[in-house]
Every structure is written in structure tokens, then in C-alpha cells.
Amino acid sequence: MGRPREHGPEVRAQLLRAAARLLNDEGPAALSVRRLSAEAEVSSRAVYSLFGDMPGLLAELCRRESETMVRRHEAVPRQANAVAEIQALALAYRQAALEYPDLYRLMFDRVVPVSSPSDPDVAYAMRSMARVEDAVTRALRQRRRRRDPHQVTLQLWAVVHGLASLELRGALGDPATAEASWRDTVAAVTAGLFAERRARIA
């Protein structure tokens, strides 16, 4: 019994749409409960009914960003040359980061406090990594190298995140130069990680 619920899925969608729009149009500083609810033309209470609190709403935004990350990764075709596939995956990562820069920063730089992701969210976000780890495993086998695929995947993640972080800060120059840096860095690190035979230099 009780009053019927009005803060339904459509209100939820309105809020998320308004949040994405505000984030991309006016930056992270514009993301506030009052501004958001005014934009979506609902009461501020709706945020708390639907998402618990503001970090909860932002976490949902992050979850959606990780979905596009997963989509971009899974759109990369599998290749016989696993190392080349890894390089393509790195560029997919770059595309996802560039598509919604503020959303990417929201995920990683914690510009705004985001509630710690719950376990299923983490599991979902790891799907991008799983896609990479698969390619890493094949690359290691192809190049006859014994390494922990998970460790190697983390290392690659560090590299692409570092590149994305610097590029979004404008430190990599114009997009063309930045892409060249991406390609070159990823080529170098994969060359080092998956070099056939000979031990790496000191």
C-alpha cells in the first residue's frame, strides 16, 4: 500500500541524460543535485529515491561509460597476430576516452567523489580487461614467453591510462601528434613485453 511511486525508470533516464549533457556541456562543476533536478524538471528528492545519493548517480554514469568501453573493446576484430590486436585494443581505449573526456576523468581521476563501485559493477568493468587479457594470453603463447597474463594486462592498462590521462590534459599536443605517440608507445611496450626469445636489456 502507500502512495504509488512516481520516480520511475523514465525519471531515472531523464536524470542520467541531463547529467551526461551537463557534464559534456558545462564540465564537472555543473553536476549538482539542484542543477540536475532543475534540468530534468524533477524534485531534488528524485536523485535520492533513485540513486541513494549523488555519488550513486555518478557511479551509474561511470557504469555506463564502462559499458561503452566494453563495446569499443569488443568491436575490435580478433586477429591471428595477437600483438597487432593488442595495439588495436589500445587505440579503442583511446577512442573511448576521447569520446567523453569528462566521463573518462569521472571514472579515473575522481574529479567528483564517486561511491566505491559495488562488486557486480567491478565485475562488469573487468570485461574490457578480460578482452585484453585474452589477446595477451595468445600473444604470450605466440611469442613463447612465460609471463602472468593478468600482470601483463595490468601493465598495458597502466600504459594506456597514462597516455589517456596526459592526452586529456592536453600534454600530447594536437590529436595527430597524440595518436602518433599512442601508436609509438604501444608499439614499444608490446615490442618489449612480447619480444621473441632474447632476454630484455638491463
Partner DNA sequence: CGCCGTAACGTAACGCTGTTGCGTTATGGT
Partner DNA sequence: ACCATAACGCAACAGCGTTACGTTACGGCG
User: Position of cell 630484455?
Assistant: 200
Q: Which grid cell is 155?
A: 601493465
Q: Out of a copy of itself, DNA, none, which partner does residue 130 contact, by CB within 5 to 8 A per kind?
A: none
Per rule CB under 7 A, count of chain residues that contact DNA: 23
Q: How far is the CB of 166 from a copy of itself (least distance, A)?
A: 5
90 lies in the site for DNA, by CB under 7 A: no
Q: Where does residue 43 fall: left (phi above 0), alpha (psi -120 to 50 degrees), or beta otherwise?
A: beta
49 lies in the site for DNA, by CB under 7 A: yes
44 lies in the site for DNA, by CB under 7 A: yes
Q: How far is the CB of 136 from a copy of itself (least distance, A)?
A: 13
d(CA 26, CA 142): 47
Q: How far is the CB of 4 from DNA (least distance, A)?
A: 5
Amino acid letter, 74: E
Q: How far is the CB of 41 from DNA (least distance, A)?
A: 9
Q: What is the 3-state secondary structure (H, E, C) of 36-55?
A: HHHHCCCCCHHHHHHHCCHH
Q: Out of a copy of itself, DNA, none, which partner does residue 6 contact, by CB within 5 to 8 A per kind?
A: DNA
Amino acid letter, 55: P
What 3-state class would DSSP assign to 127?
A: helix
Q: Out of a copy of itself, DNA, none, which partner does residue 27 contact, by CB within 5 to 8 A per kind?
A: none
User: Position of cell 591471428?
Assistant: 80
- Interhelix angle for 175-193 vs 82-99, to 10°? 150
110 lies in the site for DNA, by CB under 7 A: no
114 lies in the site for DNA, by CB under 7 A: no
- Binding interface with DNA (CB under 7 A): 1-7, 31-35, 42-49, 53-55
